[in-house]
Chains A and B, each alone.
Chain A
Amino acid sequence: KQEVTQIPAALSVPEGENLVLNCSFTDSAIYNLQWFRQDPGKGLTSLLLIQSSQREQTSGRLNASLDKSSGRSTLYIAASQPGDSATYLCAPQWYSGGGADGLTFGKGTHLIIQP
């Protein structure tokens, strides 16, 4: 069974710090990996999508890297702001013989940026 682990489960830092969120997955044969943020009671907002052939993707202050061989991805947030406070979810997608599987989610990292 494919599993996704996110570390840390929670993180509280002062505004302006650079931080790294970690995601590991048990089966390295992924098709792609998405990072999302979720605000309380809301749906998911897609942040970055990394295809299996890519090593990293960047969007603004966000950079996500992917190391398939070790089953790891990291999300780097530069110059954090209070508006970045949310739960961050990592979701690899695997491809099985019958087609693409649904996204498998980690439990998330609950991030609080202190003003």
Chain B
Amino acid sequence: KAGVTQTPRYLIKTRGQQVTLSCSPISGHRSVSWYQQTPGQGLQFLFEYFSETQRNKGNFPGRFSGRQFSNSRSEMNVSTLELGDSALYLCASSARITGELYNEQFFGPGTRLTVL
């Protein structure tokens, strides 16, 4: 069974630009979550999508947004990039037992975003 895949793996952007990252979950998983990892703040939860609906959101500004498609693939968008957005962005997928509760989460390799 293929794992979680993320594209692209590396990205370099300049301040003010926008970026879109993609995540394909494990086959059969309908929940996709996004996390940001930086040396200073560690791993922080961005948001979670289940059945094309955002179910939960972390404490990030509105410049960070996402969506999920009918095949459970998810995209994350960051608009008006800032230097502080440089980070490793990780996607995780999970097979929810019910509509509200999580099962084990599996992570992809991440997208390394550098903002110049």
A39 to B101, CA, bound (A): 28
Could you count the A-B residue pairs with CB atoms below 8 Å apart for me: how many are there? 63
Prevailing SS type, chain B contact patch = strand
**B residues less than 8 Å from A44 (CB atoms):** 90, 92, 107
- Chain A residues within 8 Å of chain B by Cβ, number: 26
On chain B, which size bracket covers the interface?
A: 20 to 34
A42 to B4, CA, bound (A): 13
Q: Does B69 contact A (CB under 8 A)?
A: no
> Among the listed B44, B55, B107, which residue makes an inter-chain contact with A36, where contact means beta carbons less than 8 Å apart?
B107
Task: Tell me if B43 and A46 are in contact (CB < 8 A).
Answer: no
Please give the distance in Å from A36's CB to the nearest CB on chain B. Answer: 7
A104 to B42, CA, bound (A): 10
Closest partner residue, chain B, to A104 (CB atom): B45
Task: Tell me if B105 and A46 are in contact (CB < 8 A).
Answer: yes
> Among the listed B46, B58, B107, B109, which residue makes an inter-chain contact with A46, where contact means beta carbons less than 8 Å apart?
B107
Among A41, A43, A91, A106, chain B packs the most CB atoms within 10 A around the CB of: A43
For A91-105 the 0/1 string (1 means CB < 8 A from B) is 101010011111111
A46 to B102, CA, bound (A): 14
Report A's interface with B, CB cutoff 8 A: 31-32, 34, 36, 41-46, 49, 89, 91, 93, 95, 98-108
Q: List 19 A-B contacts (CB under 8 A).
A: A31-B102, A32-B102, A34-B104, A34-B105, A36-B107, A43-B107, A44-B107, A45-B107, A46-B107, A100-B102, A101-B45, A101-B56, A102-B33, A102-B48, A103-B43, A103-B45, A103-B92, A105-B42, A105-B44
